[in-house]
Structure formats: C-alpha cells, structure tokens
C-alpha cells in the first residue's frame, strides 16, 4: 500500500498538483463483514463541503422511510442515510466520471433510500437511468442487510460496480476520483492515506467502528507528515508552532459531518442497523448512535433551523481555526492537554456509548428489537454530548 512518505514524494515532485490534492471532496470506505471482527459491515463517509449546517431527518419514500443526513432546512436531497430495509448509502463526488451534468447525487440517494431494499435493487435503478441519464458523477457506497457491500462509480449514462466482499481484503476506499475515470479527479493523498490506515487495521483484525472513528476519520496526516500526538509540539511550514494544516488530511477544515453505518449480518433484524453520526469536523465532536426504528431524531441532532450539536461543534472549530489568513490551519493547543483535553473527553464519551450500545444490541439480537430502549439511548447520548461540548467551551 502507498505510504504517506511516498505520497509526500509525489507531492514534492509535482506529480500530483496542489489543486488536485486540496480540492473539496469526501473520503469514504465500504467495509464488508469479511473484513470486520464481528462479521458486520461498515459504511463510512467524511463529508467535505462548504455547507457547514448539517442535520438529521426522518423522511418518507414511495416504499421505505429513511433516516438521512441533510443540509439543514433542505430535505429534497440527502448526503448519507439508511432505510427501513437496512440499506445504507453515501457518496464521494468523482468529477472524472463520464458525462457533462453534475450535482444530482443528493436527489439520487434520496430516491435510492426511498425505493431500494438491496444492492441489487440499487443496481437496477442505475441500469434504468443509464438510458434517461442521472446527472451524477460520483462514487456511491452501499451496504444492505443481506451481506451486500459495494461501490457504484456512476457517471451520467454509465456505471461500474465494485464489490468489497469479492476483493481479497474485503474492503474498498474511494475519494474524489473513479477507477473508471479519465484521471482528472482529486483526493489522491486522502485515498492513499485512507487505504494505508484501513489496510493496517484490517491486517490486525481491528477494523471496528471505534478504530474507524478514531484512527481513520480523525486522521490529520498531510504531505508534511503526521502531527500526532496532539496537541502538536512541532512546526510545519511557516506556521506558528502547534498549528496544523488540514487542507489535505482526511479530517479537514471542510469536513462538515462524519457518518458511519454499522450494518447487520444476514438474517439479523435490519432495524438494528446503527447510524453513528458526528455533525461537524470529527476532531471537534463525537459520534452519537441513532436508529430509524426509534421513530424520531433526538432534539440536539435535528435542524430547527440547524442542529444544536452542529452549532456547538462549529463553535469549537471556529475557536481553533482562529487565523483568517490561514483558513485551513488550526491551533492544536485549543484542544488542551494530551491527558485531559477535548480529545480525551470525546474519546471517553464514545467509548462509554459504544459499550452501552453493543450491550443493548446484543440483547436485542436475542430477544427482539426494543424501540423504547433505542429511543432512550439515542436521546441520552445526544443530550450528554451537548452538555459535554458546553463544558468544553462550545456556545449554543
């Protein structure tokens, strides 16, 4: 696998332009049950966008209800989500795919969530829209409740399917170029870094929800190197000591949300598919578990007009990215000390709630889904995180 050092060499030699490395985009992975210790799939997306106001919503489709990440106040498009059948989808824009039309990915994913039960049904939608045209230029990652886990690289009139479970590793990564593209995509450094991290975890049989959130989604490595442990004690480029550039890293200054869907094994109740969401840059927030089966979105995650948690995480981001002349640089000292700072508090929160959720899901796999318990868990977790962020200095 391509190491960070090799990616730095490409960068320094000019073989990959700074524009291509730093352009907006998303970093994603489709991980089949073949690659996880418990045999359940994972679907991950760091959403990179200039639109910072994100929220969750439960929406109705022609066939299925679904829980989705939306731009606050706009439910016409979705940017990641899971439906009643246990099918989850997300995307990473790939402008090097076929076609001239773009920016309908959010409409396409809304359609998929409202109508599709399996990966095969998603492919059927792609087959039908190859003729009429979709306006998509994107890598769509999908998992379902029957063991499906794949990417569809979808241009305006063509698509290609890549099954994670059929690869030797059992997982796939995509950023902002397509394997079937013309070579003019972006996100090359993030692609190499994500493959390095996911591959290392998989080789050690440690490709879990927790590892994905902490080792991959919050990664800060760039062509200059890896600044961890935080707060950074050194100096990169001409920035002040302790400041880190996030233009090229997986956790970026344009990362507006992080979504991880933990699916189910074939035969398990698809209602137990869990959506772990961070409504902001992962480094400044923590993942909250949410279920469509709970029937409601916890108040701090709903957008009225934007979510409380989103607003609180943004306030911590703004305090860290305090130099307007360096919009992609942040002061790692704003995270506090290594032992008692923001990151430790957030990590303790996620550790406690992943343990709580795993215990609850284990019982429900045996005794059946308890909707009241799911609703109570997500409400308590969202409320606790809001209070923690307030103590860390976030404003509401």
Share of the chain above pLDDT 90, in %: 86
Q: What angle do CA 110, 178, 49 make, to 5 degrees?
A: 55
User: Phi and psi at residue 28, in whole multiples of 5°?
Assistant: -140, 165
Mean pLDDT of 369-383: 98
pLDDT at 8 over 70: no
Q: What is the pLDDT of residue 251?
A: 98
pTM: 0.94
pLDDT digits (tens, 9 = 90+) for 154-174: 999 999 999 999 999 999 999
Q: What is the pLDDT of residue 304?
A: 78
pLDDT at 377 over 90: yes
pLDDT digits (tens, 9 = 90+) for 247-302: 999 999 999 999 999 999 999 999 999 999 999 999 999 999 999 999 999 999 99
The Cα-based distances of 275 to 58, 62, 230, 291, 364 in angstroms read: 12, 22, 28, 6, 16
DSSP of 122-146:
HHHHHHHHHHH-----EEEEEE-TT
Mean pLDDT of 62-81: 97
Q: Are 95 and 176 a contacting pair, CB within 8 Å?
A: yes
Q: Residue 24 — very low, low, confident or very high, per pLDDT cuts 50/70/90?
A: low
CA distance 114 to 65: 6
User: What contacts 24+ positions apart, CB below 8 Å, involve 68-73?
Assistant: 68/110, 68/113, 69/257, 69/259, 69/277, 70/303, 72/303, 72/305, 72/306, 72/307, 72/310, 73/303, 73/305, 73/306
Question: Where do the H-state alpha helices sit in the chain?
Answer: 4-13, 18-22, 105-115, 119-132, 188-203, 209-211, 308-320, 342-367, 371-391
Of 162, 196, 167, 180, the closest CA to residue 27 belongs to: 196
Q: Are 164 and 119 a contacting pair, CB within 8 Å?
A: no
Buried b (16+ CB within 10 A) or exposed e, 268-301: bebbbbbbbbbbbbbbbbbbbbbbbbbeebbebb
Q: What is the pLDDT of residue 25?
A: 84
Q: What is the pLDDT of residue 340?
A: 64
Q: What angle do CA 159, 148, 37 make, to 5 degrees?
A: 130
pLDDT at 29 over 60: yes
Q: Which residue has the higher pLDDT, 121 or 7?
A: 121
Mean pLDDT of 314-329: 95
Q: Are 54 and 257 a contacting pair, CB within 8 Å?
A: yes
Domain boundaries, the chain: 4-391
Share of the chain above pLDDT 70, in %: 93
Return mean pLDDT, the chain.
Answer: 92
Q: What is the pLDDT of residue 302?
A: 96
Mean pLDDT of 330-356: 90
Q: What is the pLDDT of residue 1?
A: 37
* Half-sphere exposure at residue 287, Cβ-oriented, CA atoms within 13 angstroms: 29
Q: What is the pLDDT of residue 319?
A: 95
pLDDT at 222 over 90: yes
pLDDT at 146 over 90: yes
CA distance 209 to 227: 23
Q: What is the pLDDT of residue 314?
A: 96
pLDDT at 197 over 50: yes
Q: Residue 336 — very low, low, confident or very high, per pLDDT cuts 50/70/90?
A: confident
Q: Which residue has the higher pLDDT, 378 or 239?
A: 378
pLDDT at 2 over 80: no
Superfamily of segment(s) 4-391: Penicillin V Acylase; Chain A (3.60.60.10)
Buried b (16+ CB within 10 A) or exposed e, 214-240: bbbbbbbbbbbeebeebbbeeebeebe
pLDDT digits (tens, 9 = 90+) for 92-143: 999 999 999 888 999 999 999 999 999 999 999 999 999 999 999 999 999 9
């Amino acid at each position: 696998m391509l190491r960070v050092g090799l990616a730095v060499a490409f960068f320094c030699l000019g073989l990959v332009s700074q524009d291509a490395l730093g352009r907006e985009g998303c970093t994603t992975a489709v991980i089949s049950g073949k690659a996880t210790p418990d045999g359940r799939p994972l679907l991950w997306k760091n959403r990179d966008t200039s639109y910072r106001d994100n929220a969750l919503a439960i929406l109705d489709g022609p066939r299925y209800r679904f829980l989705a990440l939306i731009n606050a106040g706009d439910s016409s498009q979705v940017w990641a989500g899971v439906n009643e059948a246990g099918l989850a989808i997300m995307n990473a824009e790939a402008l090097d795919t076929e076609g001239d039309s773009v920016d309908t990915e959010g409409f396409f994913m809304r359609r998929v969530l409202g109508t599709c039960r399996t990966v095969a049904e998603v492919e059927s939608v792609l087959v039908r829209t190859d003729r009429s045209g979709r306006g998509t230029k994107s890598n769509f990652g999908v998992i379902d409740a029957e063991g499906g886990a794949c990417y569809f690289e979808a241009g305006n009139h063509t698509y290609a399917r890549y099954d994670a479970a059929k690869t030797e590793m059992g997982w796939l990564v995509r950023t902002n170029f397509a394997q079937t593209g013309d070579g003019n995509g972006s996100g090359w450094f993030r692609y190499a870094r994500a493959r390095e991290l996911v591959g290392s975890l998989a080789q050690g049989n440690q490709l879990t929800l927790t590892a994905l959130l902490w080792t991959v989604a919050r990664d800060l490595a760039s062509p200059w190197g890896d600044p961890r442990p935080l707060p950074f004690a050194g100096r990169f480029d001409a920035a002040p000591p302790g400041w880190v550039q996030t233009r090229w890293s997986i956790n970026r200054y344009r990362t507006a949300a992080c979504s991880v869907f933990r699916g189910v094994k074939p035969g398990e109740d698809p209602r137990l598919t869990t959506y772990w969401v961070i409504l902001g840059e992962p480094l400044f927030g923590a993942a909250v578990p949410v279920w469509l089966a709970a029937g409601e979105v916890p108040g701090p995650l709903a957008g009225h007009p934007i979510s409380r948690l989103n607003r609180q995480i943004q306030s911590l981001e703004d305090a860290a990215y305090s130099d307007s002349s360096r919009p992609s640089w942040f002061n790692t000292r704003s995270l506090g000390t290594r032992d008692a700072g923001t990151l430790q508090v957030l990590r303790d929160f996620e550790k406690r709630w992943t343990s709580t959720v795993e215990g609850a899901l284990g019982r429900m796999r045996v005794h059946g889904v308890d909707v009241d318990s799911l609703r109570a868990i997500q409400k308590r977790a969202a409320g606790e995180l809001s209070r923690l962020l307030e103590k860390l200095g976030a404003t509401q």
